Structures are given as C-alpha cells and as structure tokens.
Amino acid sequence: MFLIKIFHFLFGYVILSIMGDSKEKFITDAINTNISIQDLAESDGKYILEVSFSDYLKLKKITKDLEVIKKAGFPFFLEKLKKRKGLIFGFSICILLIIIGSQFIWTIEYDGDTDCNMVDLENAVKISGLEIGKAKMFLDKPLDMKNTILNNTKDICWCFVYIKGTKAVVKVRKNVIPKQVVSIKEPCDLIATRDGVIKRVIAKKGRKLVSTNDAVSVGDTLISGTFDFENEAGYQTHSLGTVEAYTKHILTKKFKQNYIYKFYTGRKRHLFTLNVYKWKIPLYLKKRINYDNYDEEENTYDSTIGISLNHRILLEYKEVKEPISEETTIELAKNELEKEISSELSEGATMLSKEYKTEKIDENTIKVTLIMNFIENIATEKQIEEVTLIEPKNSESAAGD
C-alpha cells in the first residue's frame, strides 16, 4: 500500500467527479480504453473517482462532463515550480553547495583505544595531511597517512585510516611499549623498550652490541645499524633481529573493601544532534540533562553528503556499594593487576613466575603488589636520524655481524 502511494505521487493523480446522465456509459468506455479507476464512489448523483495523470488526459477525450476536485503528485508540483523561478534558482544553488561540500572532509572520528595521548595523535593526523575542511582529492593515500601517524606517535602500535563520505575515521590501537615503524629502506637501530637482562640475541642484520647476561636499560642500543671499518668506508643499514631478555614487572595499587555496581533506575533521555558538515546543532536543551550518573548509548545515521543525525540515549543509574571480605578484595585486585601488566607485554612473552604482596592500610583499604617475571622480546626499531658515509679509521675496529 505504501509503495502504491509513492507510485501515485511520482506519476501524479487526479480526483474527479462525473456529472450527467451517461455516467454508467462513461465508466464502461473508460474500462474499454484501459483506464485504471481507483476509489470509485457515488455522492449526490455524481461519481467520485481517482485516476492517474496520464489516464486523466485520456478521459478528457472521452467526455467533457468532468469536474476536477484535486490535482496532486510530482508532475503538478513541477508545474507550479516552473512559475517560481527564484525558488528553482535557490534550490539549484542549495543542491550545488551540497555536492561541492560532499567533496571535503568535515569530521574526523577516532575509534579504538582513544585513552592514548590524544594531543600527539591529533598532531600526527594533522601532519599526515588529514584536516577538517580539506578537499578529499588532495589527501594522501590512506596507507601513506597511516604510516605517517604511526611514525609520529609514541604509544600507537596499529592504525587504520579510511574515508566514509565527508567523514574520516582513524582507528588506533594503543601499545604501552612504544614502537616505531621504520621503512625497510631506511637505516635504523634496535633499542630496548624496557630494563632487563639479556637471555639471547639473534642479529639477522646489523651489528650486535650486547651479549648474554648483559644488563640493559630502556633506550639502550641492542643492535646497531652502523658499520665502520679500519681500512674501508663504513655504511648504515636497517637492523633486523630479536633480543630476548629477562624482565620484571611490578605494579602496586590500593583497593577498597567495597564492591561497587550499577543500579539502573529505568529513567532515560533521548538527545538528537544534527550534524551539518563541521557544525553541530543540538536539538535539545542542555538543562534537561540532570542525571548525576548515567551510561550512554550512541548511534549516528550518516549520509554521504556531510549531513548526519546523532542519537544519544542516556541511561540513569545509581552507584551501590556493598562491603566485601578481605579475601575477595585481594582476588579482585589480583585479576585487575594481572590484566594491566599483560597489556604492557610484547607479543609472545613467556611468564616465569609471579608473586603477590599485601598490606593492610586501614580497616577498609588493602595495598596489593604484583611482581611478575617474563622472557620477552625487548627490541624495537629506532630510525637513524642522520645518515652519513662513514670514513675509514685506523683504530681497532669494533665491527661485527
């Protein structure tokens, strides 16, 4: 039914009344002429009916006893519009502006681990050439922007950039062990991401500077990309390798002997915001947000022309505290500390041991310390800032491979 109404509107329809003594003959002639009649009814000696615009033109040839009650639909709307040239001009300009505006970036959305350093991330995005108001045709390839962002941030290990209409989406993943992505064509060293004692060094490319049982600190060079020789010129290369080390992770936190959970009251608010390119137009009064604690659900209905509708639902809740035993508090603390330390580890790390220490601070507070020992790869790339041709030296060479 809904589709039929849309069809009638697009092609236009006319509501008519037929007068005279030959109404029945008119209906018969209309059917024989393949004219489709809708909603036929009789009122005050007249037939009231609805026909399409094209059938109305045919009916005018059959009889002149027609009275038009209503003309509706897109063709009649266009007919009226032709007489209002100013409106047509303004509408055309509006469509043109929307088309032009859709060729620019108006919003940048960050997705993923957004608890990283947002100032550094936003600066890196700007360095990559991705800015609000910039034409999409002047942007670099998403892969190039991704590499620029990774090389200009310290705590991001993964990044993905894509364009969706007038919105740019930057997805990131945080790594508490800063890693730098260096092009394989660029010379670099391998440095230590944390303190440790060397277990094994596998130098696939570059000059090994540390050996088994050596103690190293964060930032120490483990495998150098610089070679110098006694009787011939040296060179710089892109170091490759793995450096396994014994590492210790210690984390201490204080925990209250309370379990806090959320009790939802059932009250909610629906807030709508109209986004037109880079402008946000709230369709609500801010004073209506009178919840002390609430969770938020958000949906955005996008279009490809820079106009979208944001729908936020605020769900009110109250925090409820319940006392828990010392044993339960310690167990919850252990899980939290282990999860936090695990997020700092290099991929493939192997745990050797773990130890817990607890201390009662007061009647309601316990301090828990977690000590974990691992074997992990602590090497990460660091670009050699100044690439130079190394002159031969006469002193004893320290080169090796």
Q: What is the pTM of this model?
A: 0.44
Q: What is the band of 209 on the pLDDT scale with cuts at 50, 70, 90? A: very high
DSSP notation for 121-134: HHHHHHHTT--TT-
What's the mean pLDDT in 75-101? Answer: 79
Stated as kind and residue range, the H or E segment containing 328 is: helix 326-342
CB-side neighbour CA atoms (13 Å) of 287? 0
- What distance in Å separates the CA atoms of residue 224 and residue 201, rounded to the nearest whole number? 12
Nearest to 106 by CA among 49, 163, 149, 190: 163
Nearest to 66 by CA among 16, 23, 12, 14: 16
Q: What is the band of 398 on the pLDDT scale with cuts at 50, 70, 90? A: very low
- C-alpha gyration radius of the chain: 37
* pLDDT value at residue 388: 63
pLDDT in tens, 165-193: 888 889 887 654 455 566 788 889 999 98
Contact between 190 and 380 (Cβ < 8 Å) = yes
221-224 vs 207-208, strand pairing mode: antiparallel
pLDDT > 90: what percent of the chain? 20
* pLDDT value at residue 387: 61
The least confident of 61-75, 188-202, 215-229, 309-323 is: 61-75
What's the mean pLDDT in 148-170? Answer: 83
Collapsing DSSP states into helix, strand and coil, what is residue 273?
strand
* pLDDT value at residue 400: 42
pLDDT in tens, 26-67: 777 777 777 777 777 777 777 787 888 777 777 777 766 677
